[in-house]
Amino acid sequence: MSVEVTRLPSGLVVVTDAMPHLQTASLGCWVSCGSRNEHPDEHGISHFLEHMAFKGTARRTARQIAEEIEAVGGDLNAGTGVETTAYYARLLKADIGLGLDVLSDILTHPSFDPDEIAREKNVIVQEIGAVDDTPDDLVFEHLQATAFPGQPVGRSILGTKATVRSFDAKRLRAYLARNYRAPGLVVAAAGAVCHDQVVAEAEQRFSGFVGPAAAQPEPARFCGGAFTEQRDLEQVHIALGLEGVAQCDPSIYSLQVFANVLGGGMSSRLFQEVRELRGLCYSIYAFHAAYADTGMFGLYAGTDAIDAPELMRVVVDEIGTAADTITETEIARAKAQMKAGLLMALESSGARAEQLARQIIVYGRPVPMDEIVARVDAVTVESARAAGRALIARSRPAVAALGPSGLDSAAAIAERLTQKAA
């Protein structure tokens, strides 16, 4: 097996996957900390900290950080999620040491220069404005807030303009010290890598992260409800959410298969019924997003205002019908799609490094692909139907809708899911 894992005395985990046929490597540091870990007055600070990591350290200016990586043909990036934040790079195998040096430098010695902070506040305020102008993104922000009201897991990762403008170096350092601890860090690398080299580099360069694991965020509570906002748009953008299951729930693969059958591709029930047969929309899809202690099944569609009520009636009917009538053929097709997606991802060193890091954070160990495939194969017609029925019965739906009209009726129709389950 090409995957190797080392747990350092500090608690930091190093995991690698050697791909000898490659000449490049993808590597990064994943932190088990995201927007869920923020206090109310810190809304958006995880994302802000991720931006500021590239704005200079005690050893490098922001320009030097970019130039050193690009001078060897590499690239450097980062991303913030609800429960994790990642900083990663892709380089030639000869430059792995440089990549780890830069990654550790931006996390252990950020300068948090006041001028850079002021500039980045404006950048992120512009980013928030861009989401406000993109209804098919904004509707998901409202869906998350409606599903988990008044909770960190329900807040936008970007924060608000007011909270972003309130951040300073002192608050950034306090958040960094509270949440970036070795037991919550994973250094992952895949491609042309030597495990012992990555371990040695990580042990030396990430030694500044000490202390016990950060406190766990508050448990999530899926509440449901409806949010509508009338806007001068060409379409109504609708997002529907139902309480899903946590990452380690035994039924997660059955629920993912159910979501795939319902709205996972061109052959899915929703695509065929709503778009192909009725012509009610251009885009419609379903998904399941899992967190540490909960999950959310989501569905999105964009349609003309006049068609919104009919579209929602069809969606509600299809969800309820699928929970009782999914067929063996549909299950086989969904499982084939899921397995192909998993195996195709193995061709990317970046995807492999990210997958390993997330498995360490969620399961505490790398999960062999054979084990994942076996879990997908174990899904049956009855287990997928049961996952669908449990999804409908578990909670009141959450609905978010933006558009010119027809919003309230579409939201009210979604409540029929709960009524059917009752």
Query: What are the Cα distances from residue 54, in Å, to 165, 169, 179, 198, 238?
Result: 19, 14, 18, 22, 36
Query: What are the Cα distances from residue 179, in Å, to 57, 60, 182, 214?
Result: 19, 24, 9, 5
Roughly what angle, to the nearest 10 degrees, separates helices 252-263 and 308-325? 130
Question: Burial of 75 by CB count in 10 Å (0-12 exposed, 13-18 middle, 19+ buried)?
Answer: exposed
SS3 state of residue 401 = strand
DSSP class per residue in 350-373: HHHHHHHHHHHHHHSS---HHHHH
* Active-site choice (4, 38, 42, 50): 50
Return d(Cα 65, Cα 202) in angstroms, integer.
19
Is residue 50 annotated as a catalytic residue, yes or no? yes
User: Strand 13-18 to strand 3-7: parallel, antiparallel, or no bridges (unpaired)?
Assistant: antiparallel
Query: What are the Cα distances from residue 228, in Å, to 78, 136, 159, 243, 412?
Result: 33, 14, 20, 20, 11
Q: Which residues contact 317 (CB under 8 A, 6 or more apart)?
A: none
Return d(Cα 249, Cα 263) in angstroms, integer.
21
Handedness of CA 360, 364, 366, 367 (dihedral sign): negative
User: Strand 185-191 to strand 13-18: parallel, antiparallel, or no bridges (unpaired)?
Assistant: parallel
Q: What single letter denotes the amino acid at residue 120?
A: E
> What order do you get walking across the sheet with 85-92 strand by strand?
3-7, 13-18, 185-191, 24-31, 85-92, 75-80
SS3 state of residue 344 = helix
Active-site residues, by number, are: 50
